[in-house]
Amino acid sequence: MARDPRKFKLGVFVLGGLAVAIAAVVVLGAGKLFRESVTLYCYFDENVSGLDPGSPVSYRGVRIGDVEAVRLVRLPEGAMRPDSPIEVKCAIYPDLFGDADEFLVTQSEFSERIALVVARGMRASINWKDITGQKYIALDYYQPSEQPVPDLGIRAKSPYIPTAQTATLADIQRDLATVAGKLARVDYEEISTRVVQLLEITTQRIESIDTQALAGHAEETLVAIRRMAENPELRAAMSRLD
């Protein structure tokens, strides 16, 4: 049976495209598949909408890892707090920071290092990535006295970085609503009426000024100053001072 050359070419084209796609996936994903990583945990009380697996983890703007999983933690029976914290599991890549000799870091070694930096004030916070609503985890140092380790109500997994108690999106929305409410109570009509009245009174006062009389007084003043300057006795006194 004769082979259809068009079908043969189509098959070769499909197989070639599939091979290119597989190669691209391998090349692009090789960094994460074969990269050495260590695990880090954070717990948040705020809304984490926009923080998804794959979201960046950065230290002072430098990306050092990715979010692996986000889940709600169930509180034990009899817990004092009403809401459950949200656990965020992160993958940190040692090859993105430190010296070349520190690329291979065991999980136990990493836990010891995290305990040290937490004691020095290392804290985690959620920031906006862009206007699309995507978020990322930012790590930075704070004063330990101003950012104490919060009470989670659960036993945190190790290694664990506490969260910084900063203004959340809910706090910002509440402040904006308060400001908007105060602006809505301002009587702008009364303010505009008072401004118009002030302008009218100012205009009337200006129009009531006798400009001719002011001009006459100014001219008399200038004449008096000239006479004083031309006075020979004043000139003699000035020369004696010199």
CA dist., res. 181 & res. 186, Å (int): 9
CA angle at 145 for the pair 139 and 147, rounded to the nearest 5°: 35
Q: pLDDT class for 206, splitting at 50, 70, 90? A: confident
In residues, how long is the chain?
A: 242
User: Looking at the predicted structure, is the pLDDT value of residue 46 above 60?
Assistant: yes
110-112-117-119 Cα dihedral, nearest 10 degrees:
150
The answer to whether 116 and 161 are in contact (CB under 8 A) is no
- Would you say the pTM of this structure is higher than 0.75? no
Helix ranges, the chain (H):
5-33, 107-119, 169-184, 188-208, 211-230, 232-241
The answer to whether 160 and 42 are in contact (CB under 8 A) is yes
- Residues 85-143: tens digit of each pLDDT: 889 999 999 877 655 444 456 788 888 888 898 999 999 999 887 777 789 999 999 99
User: Looking at the predicted structure, is the pLDDT value of residue 41 above 70?
Assistant: yes
- Residues 170-201: tens digit of each pLDDT: 556 666 777 777 787 888 888 888 888 888 88
Strands across the sheet containing 122-128: 38-44, 86-92, 62-72, 56-59, 135-141, 122-128
201 vs 13, residue with greater confidence:
201
Residue 101 has a pLDDT of 47
CA dist., res. 130 & res. 147, Å (int): 26
Residue 42 has a pLDDT of 93
Q: What is the DSSP letter of 201?
A: H
Query: Per-residue pLDDT averaged across 152-165, rounded?
Result: 86
Q: pLDDT class for 68, splitting at 50, 70, 90? A: very high
Write the DSSP string, 84-122: --EEEEEEE-GGGSS-GGGSS--HHHHHHHHHHHHHTTE
CA dist., res. 174 & res. 155, Å (int): 31
- Residues 209-236: tens digit of each pLDDT: 777 777 777 777 887 777 777 777 777 7
Residue 29 has a pLDDT of 47
- Residues 54-65: tens digit of each pLDDT: 999 999 888 999
Q: pLDDT class for 67, splitting at 50, 70, 90? A: very high
18 vs 28, residue with greater confidence:
18
CA dist., res. 160 & res. 113, Å (int): 11
φ/ψ region of 118 (left if φ > 0, alpha if ψ in -120 to 50, else beta) reads alpha
| Beta bridge partners of residue 137, listed in sequence order | 57, 126
The answer to whether 161 and 114 are in contact (CB under 8 A) is yes
Residue 13 has a pLDDT of 61
Q: pLDDT class for 19, splitting at 50, 70, 90? A: low
